[in-house]
Amino acid sequence: MNAQTVAQTIQLILAPVVMISACAFLANGLMSRFMRINDRMRTLAQERFELLRAAHRDTDLRDDLFFQQRLHETDRQLPSLLQRHQLLRNALLLIYCAIATFIVDMFVIGLSAVLNQTLLASLALGVFLIGTTLVFLTILLEILEVIRSHHGLNEEVKNIALLELEQETK
């Protein structure tokens, strides 16, 4: 193998490195959202626990409209947040699989160059496309999570607005 072939092989190996870097940026953003939802679920679960604990101590609290509304909101939000959390978990798993796939692709490209095998070169392209497909699926899951996030926020705002109207009419 001459110097020119080695240089070309290194250039070929760098293409998956660019994809790995892009995946790392995407994974960082996904992990940030994942952790924020995780923290929100823990906060809501703690709030629900405190509400139930307070209602256990003060049975009159159970008839309070704000108490009932907040308890209802936590009961409604927690499953929705859990679904979003699962979507993000799946997206993170896919993006990490994509990173692993691009790393494998680097080895296949290197082997292809060393062994000068056309079949390995075709395999390298196939592995690269698999990694790209995993990135695409990650993006689709993220789109779905963003849509659900908007729906959840929209419902919460509507419920709070309705609560205010119910209080004004009484």
pLDDT tens string 84-112 = 999 999 999 999 999 999 999 999 998 98
Compute CA distances 94 → 3, 138, 165, whole Å.
Answer: 37, 6, 44
How many structural domains comprise the chain?
1
Q: Distance between CA atoms of 159 and 72, rounded to whole angstroms?
A: 10
Contact 143, 106 (CB under 8 A): no
The helix/strand/coil state of 18 is: helix
Contact 129, 16 (CB under 8 A): no
pLDDT for the residue numbered 117: 82
Q: Where are the beta strands (DSSP E) in the chain?
A: none
Range of the domain at 53: 3-169
Task: Report the chain's terminal Cα–Cα distance, integer Å.
Answer: 86
Is the pLDDT reported for residue 5 higher than 80?
Answer: no
DSSP assigned state of 64: -
Burial zone of 166 (CB within 10 Å; 0-12 exposed, 13-18 middle, 19+ buried): exposed
The mean pLDDT of the chain is 88
Q: What is the mean pLDDT of residues 9-15?
A: 78
Contact 87, 152 (CB under 8 A): no
Q: Is the pTM of this model over 0.85?
A: no
DSSP assigned state of 170: -
For residue 151, the tally of other CB atoms under 10 A from its CB is 12
The helix/strand/coil state of 106 is: helix
